[in-house]
A and B are shown apart, each in its own frame.
Chain A
């Protein structure tokens, strides 16, 4: 292990001990509103997934020409077109899916998130350039948010950097992880593979435990699996993490014709967030090397055990959920 990594790792311990609190934010609080057209311009609104804050407390703002009082929505001759927004999105309600079911034609879905709290409701027909831009902005931001709030994913990437070190091998390892999670994200989003969320989350936690063990092995001078085949290990675990990313999209019930684009933007957002984290970690490694900041002796082992312990804590917690003992 590079000495300069040690002091960085010491701070990781501090953050990691608090990460179990932060990781709760990873499970987004959703709401899903269905608007079913009963006559031209008139809809019946119903929360199919009621947000945790309660349906009555959602500050839903319809286009100005519409009259809205649950369960009634009347937009007159003009119909339901224009800006729709939720004024009080936050940590207790991070996203809402609006599904519009017209009397004729296919149902349409729109996603409102804290990053993109306003969507434009379109009339029937092909999506316009504006709607593609809105879709891109929504899912790009959602992807960035998802990775930044995913302490488990970030800790796994951090562990990989620690084992592999800085250099060409790191590029290969991170690329393999990216390919792995992108492939499984796409497969899961298109319904080609399906893994129940709770066992999957437990497996993700277990992957970090594995990385923690591998770090200890490296510290002892043993060549673990990750040290010998970093790309293969990163790619394989990337497949697991990718299905986890897909679970964030699954709850939103995106319209099938928009799914490929939404998926591409979401994945791009995840990559942007991941790249920012890798660059920040590498910058800190450089800074510690420059300052000669080193933890000596047993101090070098503690962070590895801390990462492993926190991941084990997550694993046990998630396993209890699988067994429904929580």
Chain B
């Protein structure tokens, strides 16, 4: 019995451990990866160092997946392109001051859209995805040092974004299932998650204003 109970709870504890590990990552960790594996992997790992990236990417993929495969597909192209564009521009301009507040605003928007269960047009979703990606790409470009190969670093961010969006959106599509009554609770779960994301966005916005 004890063994069965442990088996039942391990995914939760593993997920919590993984989240704690990710949340504890700092930009120094990304630079260690850079020294060890080069600028491509440093770029791919850099978004892991900022909670705003993790939650924003997750929220966007969740929204895309909740709208169905046809809405999620264009995001596979627009999101990485936005990251590439943002990280290219971000390397040239200083973006930091409004970055935290903009990311919080975007989180609130995505969270509210999820919580309300609104079926927005996929073109609008593409615009949101490109905008959010460009914003976070620019913010991540701040992690580049003077000796960083900008192209490899930006490519690392874009590929990481592509992988994350594809996996989370597909998992959401699989989770949400078909339009049947028996799976209605899953859609409610996704909407509830949206409200948490909006709440996190509000808290992060408050922190950004206070600091």
Given A291-B170, A293-B73, A21 and B37 touching (CB < 8 A)? no
CB <8 Å contact, A145 and B69: no
Q: Flag whether B35 is at the interface (Cβ < 8 A).
A: yes
238-290 of chain A: CB within 8 A of chain B: 280, 283-284, 286-288, 290
Question: Separation in Å of the A303 CB from the closest CB of chain B?
Answer: 15
Can you name the residue of chain B whose Cβ is closest to the Cβ of A148?
B37
CB <8 Å contact, B76 and A18: no
Q: Flag whether B174 is at the interface (Cβ < 8 A).
A: yes
Interface size counted on chain A using CB atoms at 8 A: 27
**Per-residue contact bits, chain B 33-52, to A (CB 8 Å; 1 contact, 0 not):** 01111111100000000000
Q: Flag whether B103 is at the interface (Cβ < 8 A).
A: no
Can you name the residue of chain B whose Cβ is closest to the Cβ of A144?
B37
Question: Separation in Å of the B165 CB from the closest CB of chain A?
Answer: 9
Q: Flag whether A312 is at the interface (Cβ < 8 A).
A: no
CB <8 Å contact, A149 and B166: no
Determine chain B's interface SS by DSSP, over half rule: helix
**Per-residue contact bits, chain B 156-185, to A (CB 8 Å; 1 contact, 0 not):** 000100110011011101100000000000
Interchain pairs with CB closer than 8 A, number: 65
A288: which of B35, B166, B174 is its contact (CB, 8 Å)?
B166
**Per-residue contact bits, chain A 187-210, to B (CB 8 Å; 1 contact, 0 not):** 000000000000000000000000
**Neighbouring B residues of A14 by C-beta, 8 Å:** 155
**Neighbouring A residues of B159 by C-beta, 8 Å:** 11, 15
CB <8 Å contact, A18 and B151: yes
119-171 of chain B: CB within 8 A of chain A: 149, 151-152, 155, 159, 162-163, 166-167, 169-171
B73: which of A89, A90, A286, A292 is its contact (CB, 8 Å)?
A292
Q: Which of B40, B167, B173 has the most CB of A within 10 A?
A: B40
Given A290-B170, A290-B174, A22 and B36 touching (CB < 8 A)? no
A115 to B72, CA, bound (A): 38
**Neighbouring B residues of A11 by C-beta, 8 Å:** 80, 159, 162
A292 to B174, CA, bound (A): 12
CB <8 Å contact, A22 and B35: no
Question: Separation in Å of the B122 CB from the closest CB of chain A?
Answer: 13
CB <8 Å contact, B167 and A284: yes
Question: Separation in Å of the A94 CB from the closest CB of chain B?
Answer: 8
CB <8 Å contact, A291 and B151: no
Can you name the residue of chain A whose Cβ is closest to the Cβ of B36?
A114
**Interface magnitude class on chain B:** 20 to 34
Q: Which of B36, B41, B162 has the most CB of A within 10 A?
A: B36
**Neighbouring B residues of A290 by C-beta, 8 Å:** 69, 170, 173-174
Can you name the residue of chain B whose Cβ is closest to the Cβ of A22?
B40
CB <8 Å contact, A90 and B155: no
Question: Separation in Å of the A34 CB from the closest CB of chain B?
Answer: 25
CB <8 Å contact, B73 and A91: no
CB <8 Å contact, B163 and A284: yes
Question: Separation in Å of the A231 CB from the closest CB of chain B?
Answer: 29
CB <8 Å contact, B38 and A149: yes
CB <8 Å contact, B38 and A91: yes
CB <8 Å contact, A284 and B166: yes
**Neighbouring B residues of A287 by C-beta, 8 Å:** 166-167, 169-171
A284 to B35, CA, bound (A): 27
Q: Flag whether A7 is at the interface (Cβ < 8 A).
A: yes
**Neighbouring A residues of B167 by C-beta, 8 Å:** 283-284, 287
68-95 of chain A: CB within 8 A of chain B: 89-91, 94
**Neighbouring A residues of B149 by C-beta, 8 Å:** 21
What are 21 inter-chain pairs, A to B, with CB distance below 8 A?
A7-B76, A11-B80, A11-B162, A14-B155, A15-B159, A21-B152, A22-B40, A22-B152, A25-B38, A91-B35, A115-B36, A145-B37, A148-B41, A283-B167, A284-B167, A290-B173, A291-B69, A291-B73, A292-B73, A293-B73, A293-B76
Residues of B within 8 A of A (CB): 34-41, 69-70, 72-73, 76, 80, 149, 151-152, 155, 159, 162-163, 166-167, 169-171, 173-174
